[in-house]
Amino acid sequence: MNYEMPSFPPRIEPRQEWRVIALTLLAAFLIKQMPWHGWALLLRPDFVLIMLLFWAQRRQDGISFGLAFALGLMADVQDGVVLGQNALAYCVGVFLVQHFRRRLAMFTLRHQAMQIFPLLLLTEVVALVTGWISTRTPQGGWVIATAVTGTLLWWALAHAGRMPAAREE
């Protein structure tokens, strides 16, 4: 492992960059809207959250909490849960990724994914716990399954999106 600070990939031109971010987030939102059912629904990662965390790490200036909050509210309405539950979880996720961004960039993508997993689990648990406090008993631990699929999705996305990382040896 090399310890020199990997440089972030060159900035995309700002206007272009926002267009890319908006399009990818919209795509994630639409994919989440598809009529999922059965096993696919249980294993469905939260596409919007993964995309948001990806950009929070990949974009040089990160992502604003306001955007995370708005997307979280949309997810709340989409899932029919208490308003604010996912919004809070998304904000926490974005904060954590941006906090550990420099540190993450020193690892290979595989090792980064291993650190994204507990992070995703934590955001899901935040949503679970806040939801549990404001409503009733939860129904089980699908959360771990979606955190696993979410990590895999993040890994694929990081590969495709040229996430800054140490080179694989």
Partner 1 sequence: MATPGQPMFTRAPGPAARLALWSALALSLMVLDARFNALGWLRAGVVAVFYPAQLAVRAPFDFAAEVSGFLVRHRALQNENAALRETTQRAHVQLARLGSLDRENEELRRLSLLREMTGFDSVAVEILSTPRDPFSQRMMLDKGGSAGIRAGQPVVDGMGLVGQVTRVFPFSTEVTLVTDRGHAVPVQIQRTGQRALVFGGGSGMEVRYLPTHTDIQPGDILVTSGIDRVYPEGLAVAKVSRVLRPTDSPYARVSCLPMAGIDKSRVLMVLKTQDASGQPAPAQP
Which residues bind to partner 1, rule: CB under 8 A? 29-30, 33-38, 41-42, 44, 60-61, 65-66, 68-69, 72-74, 77-85, 87-88, 91-92, 95, 98-99, 102, 128, 130-132, 134-140, 142-143, 146
Between residues 14 and 168, which has the closer beta carbon with respect to partner 1?
14
Distance in Å, CB of 132 to partner 1, minimum? 7
Between residues 18 and 159, which has the closer beta carbon with respect to partner 1?
18
Distance in Å, CB of 80 to partner 1, minimum? 5
Distance in Å, CB of 110 to partner 1, minimum? 25
Measured between alpha carbons, how far is 50 from 144 in angstroms, rounded to an integer?
15
Distance in Å, CB of 96 to partner 1, minimum? 9
Between residues 137 and 169, which has the closer beta carbon with respect to partner 1?
137
Task: Annotate the chain with three-state secondary structure.
Answer: CCCCCCCCCCCCCHHHHHHHHHHHHHHHHHHHHCCCCCHHHHHCCCHHHHHHHHHHHHCCCCCCHHHHHHHHHHHHHHHCCCCCHHHHHHHHHHHHHHHCHHHHCCCCHHHHHHHHHHHHHHHHHHHHHHHHHHCCCCCCCHHHHHHHHHHHHHHHHHHHCCCCCCCCC
Between residues 114 and 144, which has the closer beta carbon with respect to partner 1?
144
Distance in Å, CB of 105 to partner 1, minimum? 12
List, in order, residues 6 or more apart from 26 with CB less than 8 Å away: none
Between residues 141 and 169, which has the closer beta carbon with respect to partner 1?
141
